[in-house]
Each structure stands twice: as structure tokens, then as C-alpha cells.
């Protein structure tokens, strides 16, 4: 199974880069996956994931009630396609996948989406906050465990 680990984020905005950092750590532990880093949105996502059987997306999230370092797992059905588009940049992940399938892109059948609760995505820093740094090893373990259980 051709698998892509797709880490999203911006590595110069503190915790916003955690998706990329986790993806890099997974690559150190699993040799038969490809890892890509992305700071994109909209239809550009299709170019990154075309041709894979499985994609594991890892990104940051900032909610009002979550604890920094908390890991959330989603599936594509958890996201609603965008209804009203005034710009291609407004295309969310679910809409991009829906459009890609409609127009014949060779997209993965298995898509897992992980979001890591963060503290700080506004400070210019290549380092995550301490709470996020400490959470990364457990997050990596959990994602690898989930991946091996779902084939």
C-alpha cells in the first residue's frame, strides 16, 4: 500500500509547525512511507495526494476547550464540503477531495486526519512550546499504532 504522511503547518510559527514535526518523526520510525510537508490549501492539496492508496494528514488545531497536546482523529466524513465558493482558495479539504474524485483524480481510499491541539500559533519561532514538545513522542506513538491497526 503506497502511503503518504502529509504534515501541514508553518514551522516558523511556533506550534503551528507541529504537524510537520510529527510527520518527520514518523518517517524516522517507518521506512515504507513517503513524507511531505505542506503549507497549502484548496485544490493544491490534490496534487500532493494523487497516486497514493492511503494518506495520513497531520495538522494543528486551536479550539476553545482543548488541552495543548491533545490528539484528535477525524475522517473525511467529519468535514462538510464548502457550499458557497467565491474563490478557489475557499475550497476546504472535503470539497477538494469531492471535486478530485468527480474529475477523475487517482485519490486515496484511506484518508486519516489528525489534529493536534496547540497553544501558540502567533509567535515567530522554529520551536514548539514546551507542552507541545513534550507531547510529540506520545502523538507519534499513537498515530503509528493507529496506522498499523488500520490497513
* Domain CATH for 76: 3.40.50.1450
> Cell numbers of 119, please?
497553544
- What are the φ and ψ backbone dihedral angles of 77, each rounded to 5 degrees? -65, -15
Tell me the average pLDDT across 41-61: 93
Across the strands, what pairs with 38? 8
Tell me the average pLDDT across 42-68: 94
pLDDT at 85 over 70: no
Q: How far apart are the C-alpha atoms of 111 and 42, rounded to whole Å?
A: 16
pTM of the predicted protein model: 0.91
Tell me the average pLDDT across 52-62: 96
DSSP for 8-31, please give it: ES-TTBGGGGHHHHHHHHHHHH-T
Q: What is the pLDDT of residue 34?
A: 96
Tell me the average pLDDT across 43-58: 94
* pLDDT confidence bin for 105, thresholds 50/70/90: very high
The share of the chain scoring above pLDDT 90, in percent, equals: 75
Domain residues for the domain of 130 are 3-149
The structural domain count of the chain equals 1
Amino acid at each position: 500500500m503506497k502511503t503518504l504522511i502529509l504534515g501541514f503547518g508553518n514551522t516558523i510559527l511556533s506550534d503551528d509547525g507541529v504537524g510537520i514535526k510529527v510527520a518527520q518523526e514518523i518517517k524516522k520510525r517507518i521506512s515504507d512511507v513517503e513524507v511531505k510537508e505542506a503549507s497549502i490549501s484548496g485544490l493544491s492539496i490534490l496534487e500532493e495526494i494523487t497516486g497514493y492508496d492511503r494518506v495520513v494528514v497531520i495538522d494543528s488545531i486551536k479550539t476553545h476547550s482543548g488541552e495543548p497536546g491533545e490528539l484528535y482523529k477525524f475522517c473525511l466524513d467529519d468535514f462538510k464540503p464548502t457550499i458557497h465558493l467565491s474563490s478557489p482558495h475557499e475550497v476546504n479539504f472535503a470539497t477538494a477531495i469531492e471535486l478530485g474524485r468527480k474529475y477523475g483524480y487517482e485519490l486515496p481510499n484511506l484518508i486519516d486526519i489528525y489534529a493536534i491541539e496547540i497553544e501558540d500559533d502567533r509567535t515567530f519561532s522554529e520551536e514548539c512550546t514546551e507542552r507541545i514538545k513534550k507531547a510529540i513522542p506520545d502523538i507519534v506513538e499513537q498515530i503509528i499504532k493507529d496506522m498499523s491497526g488500520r490497513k
